[in-house]
Amino acid sequence: MGNNAMRAIGQETFGGPEVLRVMEVGRPEPGISEVLVRVHATAVNPTDLWHRSTGGLLGTTVRLGWDVSGVVEEVGLGVTWLRPGDEVFGMPRLPEAAGTYADYVTSPARHLARKPAGLSHVEAAGLGLAGLTAWQAVVDTADVRPGQRVLIHAAAGGVGHLAVQIAKARGAYVIGTARAAKHDLVRGLGADEVIDYTAVGFEDAVADLDVVVDPIGGEYGPRSLSALRPGGILVSLASPAEAYLADVARRQGRRAGFLLVQPDHAGLRSLADLVDRGQLRVVVDAVLPLEEVAEAHERVATGRSAGKVVLAVSRL
């Protein structure tokens, strides 16, 4: 490759993981208020699979990837708080295309934060999108308080395992749903109770909940509403189709809403602070090289990953 060329994962059509391929493209340049980041690692999220197969919210093929951890290579006009050589992590541009499955990516500077020293690039790559989703659900939307009863579905998953820790750091009584094989992991993250959803209906095992965070959707929404106390809130993360639950919840004297995560510099800094205080860690299920992106998508598609599936990008 030439000096201005880089690897990037692209696709020419919608479909399964097999449509993804390594391409040689030109290295981007940072615009006003942007930085160029040399990508050390990026993570695979369910939204990546959705956009790959259907176009997602964008309705068109895109260069996939929204998570990034790496090193600032160049800064654009107007950026004063970052310099070349700074280690950063974040979630650029969502819902617009970011293209972090690549050697380099540009990002608005405020869509990033300094990487916590206690996290490797692989771990930090798994913190941006999933961490902000969990933070915006638990803190910004539900405003979890000490002593509240909080149920986290898919508590060993990418978002769930972070939401458990954030809710616990807020002083909540945390209940998670997970397969029996993952109970030790979820308890180790701070959960006070873990429910094996394959053995019992969670709504039969818990009641009078203040908050439910649901990354699954479907029948989980109505079932979760039935386990809430009057005035409790369900935060759905699964699909825009879950927005209908707001009206259902209102009729029941409860609250519900669908959350679409947004870039958030302050949220990233809050996540980094929790890491620095030893209250948040990122569980990595698997690390694969960029060229094995199709296998990484297949792993995420199973829904059985514990924590995050990460692509190692940098060849340095």
Classify residue 189 as exposed, middle or buried by CB count within 10 Å of its CB (0-12, 13-18, 19+).
buried
Distance, in Å, from the CA atom of 67 to the CA atom of 186, rounded to the nearest integer, reads 23
Count of other CB atoms within 10 angstroms of residue 60: 9
Distance, in Å, from the CA atom of 159 to the CA atom of 202, rounded to the nearest integer, reads 19
Please, which residues bridge with residue 195 across strands?
177
Compute the residue count for the chain. 316
Q: 89 and 127 in contact (C-beta within 8 Å)?
A: yes
Distance, in Å, from the CA atom of 103 to the CA atom of 311, rounded to the nearest integer, reads 11
Distance, in Å, from the CA atom of 122 to the CA atom of 101, rounded to the nearest integer, reads 13
The string over 249-286, giving b where at least 16 C-beta atoms fall within 10 Å of a residue's C-beta and e elsewhere, is beeeebbbbbbebebbeebbebbbebbeeeebbbbbbb
87-90/149-152 β-pairing: unpaired
Distance, in Å, from the CA atom of 254 to the CA atom of 209, rounded to the nearest integer, reads 11
pLDDT for position 1: 60
What are the chain's domains?
5-127+282-312 (3.90.180.10), 130-258 (3.40.50.720)
Q: What angle do CA 270, 276, 280 make, to 5 degrees?
A: 70
pTM over 0.75: yes
Instruction: Provide the CA 195 distance to its chain's centre, in angstroms.
Output: 23
**pLDDT tens for the 316 residues of the chain, in order:** 657 899 999 999 999 999 999 999 999 999 999 999 999 999 999 999 999 999 988 888 889 999 999 999 999 999 999 999 999 999 999 999 999 999 999 999 999 999 999 999 999 999 999 999 999 999 999 999 999 999 999 999 999 999 999 999 999 999 999 999 999 999 999 999 999 999 999 999 999 999 999 999 999 999 999 999 999 999 999 988 889 999 999 999 999 999 999 999 999 999 999 999 999 999 999 999 999 999 999 999 998 889 999 999 986 4
Q: 305 and 157 in contact (C-beta within 8 Å)?
A: yes
Distance, in Å, from the CA atom of 237 to the CA atom of 243, rounded to the nearest integer, reads 10
Q: How many CA atoms lie within 13 A of 154 on its CB side?
A: 22
Distance, in Å, from the CA atom of 4 to the CA atom of 86, rounded to the nearest integer, reads 21
In sequence order, the 6+-apart residues with CB closer than 8 A to the CB of 167 are 138, 144, 150, 152, 174, 211, 213
Of 164, 116, 166, the residue nearest 272 (C-alpha):
116
Rounded (10°) angle between helices 128-135 and 265-276: 100
Residue 56, helix vs strand vs coil: coil
pLDDT for position 88: 98
pLDDT for position 2: 59
Distance, in Å, from the CA atom of 52 to the CA atom of 141, rounded to the nearest integer, reads 28
